[in-house]
Amino acid sequence: MKYQITDMDRRFSHSASFNYMLRFSKPTWQGTGVLDFDRARRWMNRTWGWSQEVDYRSAIKRGNIVLQDGDINLHWAYSAVYKDYRIYLASEKELAFFQLAHSGTE
């Protein structure tokens, strides 16, 4: 599985909720970014439970919706816009656990 780790700072729009972003290669005739992204997202679902798309998650948090425990996944979220596949991770703990399961190489 190939992915790139980005340590998020204030330049990134979701840095208030997440410290790390995993970027998966864009699909080309050689690459399988969407497949790696799908495998990673399924692993996240099994490990920390279902999560929302990152923009919907932000909208839910901003809205006047009464939230209950479990409505928002605090560990991770994802984005798949314009063939740009990303997974956002809350802390170093989530990143380390993911790296233990997926080395970042093929």
With 90 as the cut, is the pLDDT of residue 47 above it? Answer: yes
User: Is residue 106 domain-resident?
Assistant: no
How many domains is the chain partitioned into structurally?
1
Residue 44 lies in a domain: yes
Using alpha carbons, select from 54, 59, 55, 58 the residue that is nearest to residue 41: 54
Q: Using one digit for the tens of pLDDT, what is the confidence trace for 58-79?
A: 777 777 676 666 778 889 999 9
Host domain of residue 85? 4-101
Q: Provide the whole-model pTM.
A: 0.85
Q: How far apart are CA 99 and CA 10, in angstroms?
A: 24
